[in-house]
Structure 1
């Protein structure tokens, strides 16, 4: 069933004979009903109970088993349509998303400016705790060299900020997760330190000359340039960011309000990835959405990716089979935007690149045989390795044999 309105659930009968029972229920438009969720929603479907009737519903929000619902009758014909008024227990994800959407900004411009500030000589008016928090933040950013290695890429994913709350829960349970280099944790610490910092008023400081060593911080968010990372959306290329034109020394204190806003926007973007990932798992989909900021000198690049695990359930006497897919998106100065989808299961690995540049298409096609050889040297069976002129389709193509997983770069 199609869902046309947010927070609206369309019901069809769950058991034989329930259509007649619904017809006899004599519901009225605007009537409020109490219901209980019988199963976790999965792929847009959920089972609920209203009175002594069990119904199957199609819905566009995640619902948990045993959740009580208040439902208003919105439509009777041609099919009963009910609107969720108050999900019992509350689902905080939509509310959190609505709060973060207008705040979210790209991490790249902010981190590029801060990377420069971390190396530039700061005036004595910048508090030492703020300088220390800044240096820890920038030192934790992975480099291109780091993510070229499997263990480095694994660390970058783990420290992307996506898993901070899970780490905190693990720490509360007596485990010892790596928190000191988690990106979200470091951004929160820097933001908190900045809010507590007290700068000497400009009127009491001696005038300073413009310095080529101090870039100015961007004055506002760039969310209009970077689409928000919503559930079901493929990662989009983001251009490399570098420090902007030089300004007066003491840029951190001079642009204090703008810096606060950008930090809040960066944290909101990480939060949107967390919301999208949580919604995926609530719907029974093992799909992580995240971004990795990569430092290249004073510039910062964004590696945007999704990682999905699909499990094929086999018979009791055979093991279940896992298949993995990764979508990756980059925008590099010498290549421009590049997307890739890599799929891997027991039958082998398939890789597809997309580029909108004919020059890049030719360059990548020339290097594909080398990529294939290197992958085969690592013991991988290669099913497909190709590059396509254009942009990756919005919806991943269906797997031809039902077994391949896609990976996007």
Structure 2
């Protein structure tokens, strides 16, 4: 399969094509380059990071993995790049995604059932092992106050489920696997497997939910809470059936985020459930470590996030850090939330200054962004 870039980043490619910059050496015929999908442009072209350069290319006939290698076949204004077949690990990861994508859903349906059971007498009628598993799941969910400090946010991310296997391989006292969200989901699945299966299709009546999967090339989507459920004492079989479906969907979603996280490329997809008020919210996070510029020791960091608590409505954000400078862009669905966030601007600047950082840019816009990729249009313009 051949990729033919149609445009490359700013003057870098102009110099590389003419052979006047060091970039030309990295694009010699036969050279292997790492490639990564960044998203898609408004006109349907792929946005790729190839060898540290941002390029646009026509989409090939087949589906590309998130990360792959290419070999330079020809140079010139529009070089041709051959896609090198992936290794076994990549094929296994792609198979894992194919198996889990049809099963996944957002956490909101499962968390909605958990919240309803906490307020209804029917919970006392569930089997004791299932009640214990639900209590373990509830204990694994962080609170908003937990993520209000750097250490608390670190701990919430550590037990979000994305790093369970790493914690089991190298156990540490500060991140016990027992507190892990994925570990709690696995325990809940085991408890549900021990309960006899009820009538086919026995589930709670509620609106259908189809939350987009946490893929690197997709934009973040703020996930609202599921509609509040009304449970009766005779709904035990329906509750168990619904928990089976929702637990399977949540586990598939955690594992998709794990498969989409690539530490070697500096990309992590993380979702942190939060217990707030009478329900649960989901903080979706995308963290990326960029490549350092010539002469720099550290590259830039970009953190995107999305959340939709009832008190604020949908909020999305994008934080860019190139030490010591920080840029913050926020979007809020409600105008009163925009005003609330803007009022916190002075506090944010002071906190950053105490940490030795400089706030270069802060903006909070009414409405939600509609990017064509994982990044906002502003970030794409900055990189293109």
Query: 1:118-137 alignment to 2 at 5 Å?
Result: 118=118, 120-121=120-121, 126-137=126-137
Partner of 1:340: 317
Task: Give 1:106 shift.
Answer: 1.3
Q: 1:195 aligns with which of 170, 193, 216?
A: 193
Whether 1:257 and 2:237 are equivalent positions in the alignment is no
Length, aligned pairs only: 328
CA–CA separation in structure 1 for the residues paired with 2:156 and 2:286: 14
Alignment pair present for 1:244 and 2:229: yes
Equivalent residue for 1:41, pick from 30, 34, 49? 34
Q: Per the alignment, do residues 343 and 191 of structure 1 end up closer, same or farther by CA in structure 2, a change over 3 Å counting?
A: same
Partner residue of 2:75? none
In structure 2, the residue matched to 1:138 is 138
Q: Does 1:273 align with 2:253?
A: no
Q: How does 1:168-247 map to 2 (within 5 A)?
A: 168-171=168-171, 178-198=176-196, 218-219=204-205, 222-224=208-210, 226-241=211-226, 243-245=228-230, 247=231
Deviations 1:172-192 (A, max 9, x none): xx9995100111110011111
| Aligned position for 2:15 | none
Q: Which has a greater percent of helix?
A: 2
8 Å contact from structure 2 (residues 108, 281) kept in 1: yes
Q: What is the TM-score when the length of structure 1 is the normalising length?
A: 0.68
Provide structure 2 residue ranges, at least 5 long, that are not aligned to the other structure: 6-26, 37-47, 52-59, 70-77
Instruction: Evaluate the alpha carbon distance shift between residue 349 and residue 82 of structure 1 in structure 2; reply closer, same or farther with a 3 A threshold.
Output: closer
Question: Are 2:93 and 1:93 equivalent residues in the alignment?
Answer: yes
1:41 partner SS: strand
Distance 2:221 2:151 in 1: 25
Task: Give CA-to-partner distance per residue, 1:98-150, whole Å, 9 cap, x none.
Answer: 22122111112211321342464457753222211111111221111111122
2:64 corresponds to which of 60, 63, 84: 60
Aligned in 2, Cα 1:217/1:178: closer, same or farther, shift over 3 Å? farther
Are 1:364 and 2:341 counterparts? Answer: yes
* Contact residue 112 and residue 298 of structure 1 kept, 8 A: no
Q: In the TM superposition, what is the alpha-carbon distance from 1:351 to its structure 2 partner?
A: 1.1
Q: Secondary structure at the match of 1:312?
A: coil
Q: Please tell me whether residue 291 in structure 1 is matched to residue 268 in structure 2.
A: no
Deviation at 1:298, TM superposition (A): 3.2
Q: Which residue of 2 aligns with 1:163?
A: 163
Displacement after TM superposition at 1:322 (Å): 3.8
Aligned mates of 1:81, 1:375 — CA distance in 2: 44
Name the SS of the counterpart of 1:147 in structure 2: helix
CA spacing shift, 1:46–1:184, aligned 2, 3 Å: same
TM-score normalized with structure 2 length: 0.71
Where relative contact order (Cα < 8 A, 6+ residues apart) is larger, the structure is 2
User: What residue is the counterpart of 2:117 in the other structure?
Assistant: 117
| Distance 1:381-1:219 versus aligned 2 partners, 3 A rule | same
- 1 CA distance for matches of 2:345 and 2:124? 53
- Where 2:145 maps in the other structure, the secondary structure is helix
Structure 1 residue ranges without an equivalent (≥5): 4-13, 19-37, 48-57, 66-77, 203-215, 403-409
Report the secondary structure of 2:170's partner residue: helix
Counterparts of 2:82 and 2:359 in 1: how far apart (Å)? Answer: 49
**Inter-partner Cα distance in structure 1 for 2:235 and 2:256:** 29
Structure 1 residue 170: deviation in Å?
2.6
Counterpart secondary structure, 2:360:
strand
Counterpart residue number, 1:305: 285
CA contact (8 A) 1:112 1:241 kept: yes
Give how far 1:370 is off: 3.4
In structure 2, what is the Cα distance between the partners aligned to 1:84 and 1:375? 44
SS at match of 1:336: coil
Give the distance between the partners of 1:380 and 1:45, measured in 2 at CA: 28
- 1:389 maps onto 2:366 in alignment: yes
Work out the CA distance in 2 between the residues paired with 1:45 and 1:243. Answer: 43
For 1:176 and 1:357, the matched residues in 2 are separated by 38
Q: Is the 8 A contact 2:306 2:314 kept in 1?
A: yes
